[in-house]
Structure 1
């Protein structure tokens, strides 16, 4: 039987094999400590590239307090750069220009005072906030982009039939997926966010904001459990920016110069959470609406923000992003298998390897649905995402073939 035009049994078998691969069984925490993605390799969504010929020499290291670690040392040592080139971290992107920090500013945002900051052209370089780049000695341009440990990437826009990707944040350790607990739980959106977060190579954490707007503790627990049902292996935190509840736990995750990407829909309180974590009004906020307890869209650009140091002096970093209305898949990593690990665990116990999980005898998935251990909507949601990923792969293959044909015609003329 076809599902949205695809042989779902064949696709599910492929995903089940990936879910059972040895690469999938690496502990996420262990992978994070190694600053590598789940399959143990250096994340390469941004291959090292240069915008102009460079002369081989030794270049100074990046600032550790910005999140630099030894894994970039070897890469930098092998990179041919001019003697006066410097590595820095991108804190903001503005229409072909990058704001790059060489040392932390004192103001907390990309416009902060102090520190060593430069604004450079990034023409020819695929740069995102959080990237480590090599800046020319004259401070005029980005000359090279270092490989990324991780990157949160989603489908951004279309040019006719051509899909484009958008890297929201690079070199991140955690992805905070922000939902307002004062609003009805949106399980389907969280599932999509988790797929992207797992694909990023970072560790997802669900943060439920606006705790102070829900007086009934039992209602808080009900909404929390509703979201936990679709994120069984993910860490949750319930916070209030006004009372301070839960914020210290979030700050501890960033300690040690780690970087957190904060993502969520418009109006869930991202800017308020950022201000509360930083301890200063670094982002503009608006009052919530009475009807649905949602705020207005206020964050208009992605920024790297400094978080306060913990008692031993080890600070962290936060990448605040504009509200994301549509959550569309882009890559085809292990995100679906990780986000739906409970479903794939059940699939392992089906009698038939090519089970469609519909009416087949011995289907462990249907048994779990009948017994109330699995929501049928969760299975359908997973199938939609599997079909969406397959459609994306087909589109990308067609695009590559078209580009190859154009290149072949140019070579013949």
Structure 2
């Protein structure tokens, strides 16, 4: 089938894949059309304020409560959850990794998740985990839902087809998608092996940031977020459903596909977004602005202005600031930054940080441009320059991000990362001009 999308973000949708499957005027009729079952999926407390209350009504072939075996514990040893402390012997520091290799053995999306960092607490529903996924096989009869948090998926290599209860999203590098907490899905590969990044958000759901003085336009616009239309899989073969709950995994057997929702309406739904539609703003006279102006999505915390997680991108854009050091300045800050590169080159790290790679700069640890980037920026002619063919991002959180053993012992870890700053020599010589030779 051709996958279509409905525009919007946080709106109430209705969609049906068979005519008349969606009841009108009420949510739970005595006998729904087509012999379907009515089921509500809630993403917020029942009594949450109207503006934050999230729920969808699903009209499905069988209710999701029906399965043929009890849940049994299973292991996904490389998927870790917070708190995950004292998992390794690596000392504190600024860290960077080469791309995690795609395995040779058959590995689907779920088996291919490797946790790099965790922060906060799943049971306290705060914080996040940052993962890499690598896969070379589709999920066929295996399905999954995450009770611990929503999943922000960022493809870097290869396209994925995210098949959810509420429809299908085809997501390729340069796009992202969100699978809400508790939603059943599986992942098919579109065109060969895949690699990408995942932010598992334990806290309040991702939403659009307030624009403040920016006003009504720019950054990410609601119209560019796409929600799939209803689609269902009527498959009467044995299937499996794996659940992540409070950091542990459980599996049950079912005798049919759980992706059997024929119609739905509501505002709790998956969605995708094309990062090229982000409209960046920046300094047009002098100084380098805070990276917060590149926030696509934010998961708020209970403290105003301090996010549980921000998803920030560094897209193609013009640099025009006068008399200004144009790359990010050297800085220490309270947020912890997990950074990835989808394509191209990042202007502050011209060597060593490659597509598929990762860097981690934890709270209050200094970081900034490498020596080569610094030299180039201080000697460049300050004419308008366009950064093109690039896309980097950050999962930024107010919590410290603790490394997993997998990340600390990975062969992809760059032991010489801190050497990129050794060329930052002393330029102070007692004169106002300094030594810029």
With normalisation by structure 2, the TM-score equals 0.25
Which structure has more strand as a fraction of its residues?
A: 2
With normalisation by structure 1, the TM-score equals 0.26
